[in-house]
Amino acid sequence: MWAEPINLWAESHRARPADAMVSLEYGSRLISSKPNLTVALMEQVLAADASPEQRKRAHIGAIQAWFEIGNEKRALPHLSAVADPDEKEGGWLLVRRCILETRVGFREVDYPAGTVLSPLARVCAEAATRFPRHAGLANAAGVEAAIRGDISAAQTFLERALEIAPHNGEYRRSFSLIPINVWAWGGDEPLSPDRMASP
């Protein structure tokens, strides 16, 4: 039994099912093979009196497990709890939250009070700064900015998305979120970096 670490943690969990550290270590080893069990174990850690580091690891484990299961939307509360623009590590968390939250249409008021670590605007802006050649991220950051009325940022990000991927229909459609008077549509000038982007 002890030859395989996963068996050791499984046995430890049977012996100490309420131990947050044991649940965390056991669940971390099951993300690919048993993601549903991982989610349950991570939720157990989050409900326990776990340390801040254990809570962070549990959120990340739950994110990975929900993506394995194929239910990305269920990862959003965990992403909102740990995507930190001030941390040098974890850039993938910023990217995932920005893209997924804008696609699903969540708003920060949809989360329970006190569960969002950083506003989506900061998350998207930092992610787009760190990964300037990621077209999907630039589009998501542009959509987020347009929805909250920051037309200058929306224009910058949406132009970047089309510059990187000029034939992507989704990115062209994103331009419809920009108010018409901002682009001066109706004049002789190009409607956008891509004429196909006009509404």
| Residue range 138-145: mean pLDDT, rounded | 94
Q: Per residue in 65-114, pLDDT tens? A: 999 999 999 999 999 999 999 999 999 999 999 999 999 888 788 888 89
Amino acid 20 reads A
Let me know if 125 is exposed, middle or buried by CB neighbors in 10 A (0-12, 13-18, 19+).
buried
Give me 5's structure tokens: 């670490």
- What is the rounded CA–CA span in Å between residue 44 and residue 54? 11
| Residue range 19-39: mean pLDDT, rounded | 94
Sort residue 44 into left (φ over 0), alpha (ψ -120 to 50) or beta. Answer: alpha
Give the pLDDT band of residue 57 (cuts 50, 70, 90). very high
* More confident site: 12 or 122: 122
* More confident site: 149 or 122: 122
* More confident site: 189 or 36: 36
Query: 18 near 48, Cβ under 8 Å?
Result: yes
Q: Does 190 score more than 70 pLDDT?
A: no
| Residue range 15-23: mean pLDDT, rounded | 88
